[in-house]
A and B are shown apart, each in its own frame.
Chain A
Amino acid sequence: MFVIGIALFFGTILIALVGPVIFTITMERVGPQYAPPGGRYFLGLNDLGQDYISLLIRGLQSSLYVGFLAGIIATTLGTLIGIYGGFKGGWVDDFLNMVTNLFIVIPSFVILILISSSFKEGRSLTLIGIIIGMTAWTWSARSVRAQSSALKSKDHIALAKMNGANTLKVLLVHILPYLFSYVFMVFILQVASGILSEAAISMIGLGPLDTVSLGTILNQAKNTGALGDGVWWAFIPASVIITVIVFALYLINTSMEGVFNPRLRK
C-alpha cells in the first residue's frame, strides 16, 4: 500500500516539475473555444482557447504549492501549541485548549470565505495557503496535545528534568522525537486537506486571482456551463488529478501506520 501511495504521489510531483520541460507551457490562445482533444493538445482547449495540458500542469504546481504551504503552517502551528499545552498542563493547557476550541467551533471554511472575499485584489496562492494553514491547525493541535500529555509522565522526562534540561530542551529533544512519526502522519493529512480546501475555495470563485490552480480550472468549467454541454475535458482531468493526489496521500498515511508499527503488518 505504501509503495502504491508513494508512487502515485511522486508521479504527480514529477509531472508538476518535469512537465514544463516536456510540454511547452503557454497561456496563449492556441485554438477555438472548447476544441476537443486531438493531436498535440490531447487534453483539449478551454473556453478561452487555452491548452489544457499547460493549464493542468500549472494548476497542479499551484495546488501542490498551496497544499504544502498550508500543510506546513497548520502542522507547525498545531504541533507547537499541542506539544506545549499537553506538556505544561494546568492553566496553560486550559488556556490553549480554549483557544483551540474557539478555532474549531468557528467553521474554518466560513473564515476562509470571509477573509478571501475581503481581499478584492491581491488574492494570491500564498495568501490562500496561509489562510488555510491558519485555520486548519486545530486538528493537529488536538492530536499532538494528547500524545504530548501521555508522554510527560514517562521516566526519561523526569530524568531529563533532573539533568537540568529546561522546558524547551525537554520538548524538542525528549518529546518531539517520540512524536515524530505521529507528526509526520499529521502533516500528510494536512497537506491533503490543504489541497482540497484550496480546490473548494477556488471552485466557488474565491480562489487566487493571478494564477491557475486545479480549483480555478473547475470553477471556469462550472461558470461556462461546460458540464451541461458535455465538454468533459474541461472538468474531468482536473477532478481526476485532485482525487489521485489526495488518494495517494491518504494511502501513504494509512500505510505509514504499518511502517512505524511493524506489529500491525501481520
Chain B
Amino acid sequence: MHNDVTIFSADHISCTFGSGKKIVRAVDDVSFSIASEEIVSLVGGSGCGKSVLAKVMLGLIQPQTGKFLYKGKTIENQIKHWREVQSVFQDPFSCFNQFFTIRSQLKDSFNVMEKKPSNKEMEDRVDQALLAVNIKPPEIEGKYPFELSGGQMQRMLLARIFILRPQVLIADEPTSMVDACVRANILDYLMKLKEELKMTIVFITHDIGLAYYVSDRLFIMHKGKIVEQGAPDDVTLSPKSEHTLQLLDDIPDIHKEWIKGRATSTVPA
C-alpha cells in the first residue's frame, strides 16, 4: 500500500534543554521510521515531547544525540527541507503577521520555492488554494487576520499547504482550537490534501479519538519516550502500555463510564 521510501528515520535521538540539575529530556532515546504516504499520529498529554519531535522533523531543532534522517540524509539546508516538508500549527492567529493582509502573506509562501513563478501564476495558485478550502477569493480580499474567524484562519493555514504542495505535512494540533463542527471540515481538507498530493502526514494531538479516526499508525508518547506504537485498532483494543490506557480512559466517550462512580445520566441499555 505504501511506498518503500522511508521518509523519516530516527535512530536513538534525544533532545535536551537546559543543563545541570534543571536538564529537561524533551525527547528521550526515540527510534522510529515513517514511510511515504503514511498518516502517523503522535499522541500524548502536554509535556510528552510530541511538539519537540515535530520541530525536529521540521528541521527547526537538531537532536543532541542520535541520527535523524529525512529520505536517508540528515537535514543540512533548512530552506531546501522546507520545500518538501511543511507544517500547520495549533493557533492560526499566532501564525500570521497581524500587520499584513492574509492574501499577501499567502503569496509570501512562494519565496521558499526554488523558482518563483510569475505574478499572474502566483495569483492564480492562491485563488485555487482558497477554492480548495471552500473560500471564495473575494471573501478575504484586503482582510487582515483579526478580521477572520478561527475556522477561516485555520483554513488559511491549509490553503498555504495547497499552495506549497509539500510532500510531507506536520500538523501540530490543527483542530485543538476549533469547534467540533469545524473540526470535521479541517479533517476533510487534510484528507483531500493527502489524496491529491500523495502526502505523508504526521499528526500531533492529545486526543486519541481523533488520532484513531485519522491515522494509519499511532505513536503514543509519554515523558519524551514512545511507549507504544501500532495500528489504531491494535492500540485501542489491546493497549500494552498503561499510558495508552490512561489516554483512552481520559477521553469522555458517550458510551462508557468516564469518571468512576459519577454519572449525571444513565447509559441506555
Which of A's residues lie within 8 Å of B, judged by CB?
154-156, 158-165, 173-174, 177-178
Asked whether B95 is an interface residue with its Cβ less than 8 Å from the other chain, the reply is: yes
CB-CB contacts of B92-130 with A at 8 A, as 1s and 0s? 001111011000010011111100000000000000000
Question: Within the complex, which residue of A162, A164, A174 is in contact with B97, where a contact is CB–CB below 8 Å?
Answer: A174
Asked whether B91 is an interface residue with its Cβ less than 8 Å from the other chain, the reply is: yes
Contact B111 A154, beta carbon cutoff 8 Å = no
A156 and B79 in contact (CB under 8 A), knowing A162-B87, A164-B111?
A: no
Minimum CB–CB distance from A79 to chain B (whole Å) comes to 17
Asked whether B86 is an interface residue with its Cβ less than 8 Å from the other chain, the reply is: yes
Minimum CB–CB distance from A180 to chain B (whole Å) comes to 9
A164: chain B residues at CB < 8 Å are 79, 82, 109-113
29 chain-A/chain-B pairs, Cβ below 8 angstroms: A154-B94, A155-B89, A155-B91, A156-B94, A156-B96, A158-B60, A158-B89, A158-B95, A159-B87, A159-B89, A159-B95, A159-B96, A160-B97, A161-B78, A161-B82, A162-B86, A162-B87, A162-B112, A163-B105, A163-B112, A164-B79, A164-B82, A164-B111, A165-B111, A173-B97, A173-B100, A174-B97, A177-B97, A177-B99
At the interface, is chain A mostly helix, strand, loop or mixed?
A: helix
Complexed CA–CA distance, A158 and B82 (Å): 11
Complexed CA–CA distance, A173 and B94 (Å): 15
Minimum CB–CB distance from A152 to chain B (whole Å) comes to 12
Instruction: Report the nearest A residue to B85, measured CB to CB.
Output: A162
Asked whether B199 is an interface residue with its Cβ less than 8 Å from the other chain, the reply is: no
Minimum CB–CB distance from B164 to chain A (whole Å) comes to 9
Q: Which of A159, A160, A165, A177 counts the most B-chain CB atoms under 10 A from its CB?
A: A159
B110: chain A residues at CB < 8 Å are 164
* 16 further interface pairs, Cβ-Cβ under 8 Å (given A164-B112, A178-B99): A154-B94, A155-B89, A155-B91, A158-B87, A158-B95, A159-B95, A161-B78, A161-B82, A162-B87, A163-B105, A163-B108, A164-B109, A164-B110, A165-B108, A173-B100, A177-B99
Minimum CB–CB distance from A62 to chain B (whole Å) comes to 37
Minimum CB–CB distance from A230 to chain B (whole Å) comes to 58
Instruction: Report the nearest A residue to B94, measured CB to CB.
Output: A155
Which 9 residue pairs spanning A and B have beta carbons closest together? A164-B112, A164-B111, A155-B94, A177-B99, A163-B109, A155-B95, A159-B95, A162-B82, A163-B108
Contact B111 A156, beta carbon cutoff 8 Å = no
Instruction: Report the nearest A residue to B91, measured CB to CB.
Output: A155
Instruction: Report the nearest B residue to A173, measured CB to CB.
Output: B97
A160 and B108 in contact (CB under 8 A), knowing A155-B89, A177-B99?
A: yes
Count of chain B residues with a beta carbon within 8 Å of a chain A beta carbon:
22
Asked whether B201 is an interface residue with its Cβ less than 8 Å from the other chain, the reply is: no
Asked whether B202 is an interface residue with its Cβ less than 8 Å from the other chain, the reply is: no
Minimum CB–CB distance from B137 to chain A (whole Å) comes to 20
Complexed CA–CA distance, A179 and B64 (Å): 33
B96: chain A residues at CB < 8 Å are 156, 159
B226: chain A residues at CB < 8 Å are none
Complexed CA–CA distance, A235 and B105 (Å): 57
Contact A156 B58, beta carbon cutoff 8 Å = no
Minimum CB–CB distance from A30 to chain B (whole Å) comes to 55
Q: Which of B58, B86, B108 counts the most A-chain CB atoms under 10 A from its CB?
A: B108
B79: chain A residues at CB < 8 Å are 164
Complexed CA–CA distance, A156 and B105 (Å): 11
Minimum CB–CB distance from B187 to chain A (whole Å) comes to 21
A161: chain B residues at CB < 8 Å are 78, 82
Q: Which of B97, B100, B113 counts the most A-chain CB atoms under 10 A from its CB?
A: B97
Instruction: Report the nearest A residue to B145, measured CB to CB.
Output: A156
Instruction: Report the nearest B residue to A180, measured CB to CB.
Output: B99
Minimum CB–CB distance from B76 to chain A (whole Å) comes to 16
Contact B97 A156, beta carbon cutoff 8 Å = yes
CB-CB contacts of B40-81 with A at 8 A, as 1s and 0s? 000000000000000000101000000000000000001100
Complexed CA–CA distance, A155 and B95 (Å): 5
Complexed CA–CA distance, A161 and B112 (Å): 9
Minimum CB–CB distance from B79 to chain A (whole Å) comes to 6
Minimum CB–CB distance from B248 to chain A (whole Å) comes to 30
Complexed CA–CA distance, A178 and B99 (Å): 8
B91: chain A residues at CB < 8 Å are 155
A162: chain B residues at CB < 8 Å are 58, 82, 86-87, 112
Complexed CA–CA distance, A60 and B40 (Å): 70
Complexed CA–CA distance, A162 and B60 (Å): 9
Complexed CA–CA distance, A164 and B111 (Å): 5
Complexed CA–CA distance, A173 and B91 (Å): 20
B78: chain A residues at CB < 8 Å are 161
A165: chain B residues at CB < 8 Å are 108, 111
CB-CB contacts of B145-186 with A at 8 A, as 1s and 0s? 000000000000000000000000000000000000000000
Q: Which of B78, B91, B110, B111 counts the most A-chain CB atoms under 10 A from its CB?
A: B111
